[in-house]
Every structure is written in C-alpha cells, then in structure tokens.
Chain A
Amino acid sequence: MTYKKGLKDGIPIALGYLSVSFAFGVTAVDMGIPALIALLTSMTNLTSAGQLAGITVIAVFGTFLEVILTQVVINARYFLMSLTLSQKLDGKFKFLDRVLCAFGITDEIFAVAVHNKEPISKRYIWGLITLPYFGWATGTIFGALMGNVLPAIIVNALSIALFAMFIAIIIPGAMENKKILPVILISATLSCILYFVPLFDFISQGISYIICAVIASCLGALIFPIKEDSQDEQ
C-alpha cells in the first residue's frame, strides 16, 4: 500500500481521464466557455457528469440555485462512495487527511481504491489520486485548446476506455464472490429499464445510478448478507 502502488493503479484511470476530459474541453469551448475556465472547472470539480451538467447550465446563464441542484442530484452517489471508502481507511488517517483526500473521490478512483483487500493507507490514496488528477486537467486544456484536431473515430474509440475498466473491476469481483452476481444482474436490469422505458425519461442519469445502486445493494444485503469478519469478501 505504498505511494508507488497508488501511482501505478492510477495509470489506467489517468489514461481514461485524458480522453474523457479531452471531450469535456472540446464541449466546453464549443458552448462558449473560455479554455481557462474549462480548466478551472476540471481542477476544482474533478467529476465528469457533474461538470458537463454544470457547464450546460452556465452556458445558458442559469442561476446559482439551478447549478447547486444539478450537482446535488448528479453527484449524490459520491456520498455513498465516500461512506464506503471511509470504512476502508487504515487507522493512520487524521481528520485533516480525511477531509483533504475526500476531494479525490471519483467513480474510478473509488472503484480502484475499494477493490483493494487491505485497508487503504494515506500514501496509497494520494498516489492513486495524483495521475488521474493531472490527467483530468491536462486532457481538459488540450481538448479546449486543440478542439477538433483528433479525428472523431479515435475520440469515439477512446470513450469506451473507462467502461472497459469498470467491466474489468466488476467481472473478477463476481468471479471471486458469487454473491455479487445477483446484485450486478439486478442493477443492470434496473438500469436498462430506467434507460429504455419512456415512462422513466424524467429520471436523470445521476438519479438513475442512485436508484439502481440502492435497490440492488439493499436486496443483496438482505438476501446475501456478508457475515461479520468472514472471508466472504476474499
């Protein structure tokens, strides 16, 4: 659980972020946001869906209340992630360490961090945050400045990187602990229903994640509880 291991685990996230934030930079400038403000957004927010929703509000000169509500809805999932992660930290985290590293909780950083079986150390979490943070900022400014230099076919292909990574986290987990499989299937089914059934069109993507995650994990916890201190997690 060293800084170096954190850095290494952060490489795939940083690579994925380069492409996603590149796309964000292109979109932001296209919406009339100056390149430096797009960069500021990435350096202070560090969240893909939230940032995209945010600049959409800014581009049409929306109100502060509007932007606050969108962020609460879309980023509420970080609350669950932060709660989960807070349980996995080793005993050496002081209050200041906790409140500082909270800034770096993203879907991907969380996923990789929580995937570790040992308690998470301070050095590891900072190592893990480092490259994705700079990848996110670098991709944004490149996207904002260079716009349409990269052909669409490459940008499109790069956009599957993060999802491939999610799959590479979900599948081995389900292979190691069969209890995870039903949770995954429930979540995927709910997610598809919310996505495809027109009746649920009013539900934003951020809210959809919350609904699926809460229902699927609650069912999992009720039907297949992980016993105290058992080896179920191994």
Chain B
Amino acid sequence: MSNNLYMILMVLTMAGVTYIIRVIPMAFFHKKIKSTFIKSLLYYVPYAVLTAMTFPSVFFVTGNVYSAIIGTCVAFLGAVSKRSLVIVAILSVLSVLLFDLTAFIF
C-alpha cells in the first residue's frame, strides 16, 4: 500500500467512526423524551461539556498563563454584559494580543 493510499484510508476510517458516533442518536432517537431525569440531564450536558472543555485548558492555550487569564476575564466581562458571541471572541483575542505584544516589547 502506498503512503498516500494508506493515509487516505486512515483519514476515511476516522471520518466514518466520527460520523457513526454523530448519526446514531440523530437517526434512532427522534421520539420526544418524557423522563424528567433524562430531559434535565440533556439540558445540563452542553453547559457541563463546555465548562469541562474550557477549564482549565483556556489558561494554557495562548502559551502564556497571564495573557490567557486576561483573555478569560475579558471574555467573562463580555459574557456578563451579554455581548454577542463574536464580539466576546474578538475582544478576548485582542486583549490577549495586546497583553502579549506589551510583554514582548517591554
């Protein structure tokens, strides 16, 4: 098997597995769920998943804990004042950039 063929087959295998994981609930669970427990669980899952993905990883993504803390605080303030997602993201990125540039220069 050539290198390219091997890589393409591996990539398609990854894609297949990932798609199957995504499609099973969509394809087979479309009746409305009645159980309060399950409904509550599903209501909380996105918040729990996003929180677990964000903390503590967010503090290490910029390669500088301090600029990451600044970026996180700015995002937090933007979120509390209910700015849109894109505005919060842009403000956070700019604050990190500004902090890192300042740190780089001085």
With A183-B44, A233-B43: A160-B92 Cβ-Cβ less than 8 Å: yes
A166 and B21 contact, CB distance less than 8 A: no
Decide yes or no whether A40 CB sits under 8 A from chain B: yes
Q: Which residues 8-41 of B sit at the A interface, judged by CB distance below 8 A?
A: 8-15, 17-19, 21-27, 29-30, 32-34, 36-41
Task: Return the chain B residue nearest A107 by Cβ.
Answer: B53
Task: Return the chain B residue nearest A224 by Cβ.
Answer: B40
A-B contact count (CB 8 A): 308
Q: Which residues 58-81 of A sit at the B interface, judged by CB distance below 8 A?
A: 58, 61-62, 64, 67-68, 71-72, 75-81
B46 and A84 contact, CB distance less than 8 A: yes
In angstroms, Cα B97 to Cα A156, docked, is 8
* Complex partner residue of A45 from B11, B24, B68, CB under 8 angstroms: B11
With A103-B22, A167-B54, A225-B36: A216-B44 Cβ-Cβ less than 8 Å: yes
B55 and A87 contact, CB distance less than 8 A: no
Classify chain A: how many residues form its interface, as a range: 35 or more
A68 and B13 contact, CB distance less than 8 A: yes
Q: Which residues 66-106 of B sit at the A interface, judged by CB distance below 8 A?
A: 67-68, 71-72, 74-76, 78-80, 82-86, 88-94, 96-97, 100-101, 104
In angstroms, Cα B82 to Cα A154, docked, is 26
In angstroms, Cα B46 to Cα A233, docked, is 13
Q: Which of A101, A163, A186, A187 counts the most B-chain CB atoms under 10 A from its CB?
A: A163
With A77-B49, A187-B52, A218-B41: A102-B75 Cβ-Cβ less than 8 Å: no
**Interface of A, helix, strand, loop or mixed by DSSP:** helix
User: In the complex, what residues of B have CB within 8 A of residue A79's CB?
Assistant: 21-22, 24-25
B62 and A157 contact, CB distance less than 8 A: yes
Which B residues are closer than 8 A to A by beta carbons? 4, 6-15, 17-19, 21-27, 29-30, 32-34, 36-58, 61-64, 67-68, 71-72, 74-76, 78-80, 82-86, 88-94, 96-97, 100-101, 104
Q: List 8 A-B contacts (CB under 8 A).
A: A45-B18, A101-B26, A160-B71, A170-B47, A172-B82, A173-B47, A184-B51, A216-B51
Which A residues are closer than 8 A to B by beta carbons? 9, 11-12, 15-16, 33-34, 37, 40-41, 44-47, 50-51, 54, 57-58, 61-62, 64, 67-68, 71-72, 75-87, 89, 93, 95, 98-99, 101-103, 105, 107, 110-112, 114-115, 152-154, 156-175, 180, 183-184, 186-188, 190-192, 195-196, 205, 208-209, 212-214, 216-218, 220-222, 224-228, 233
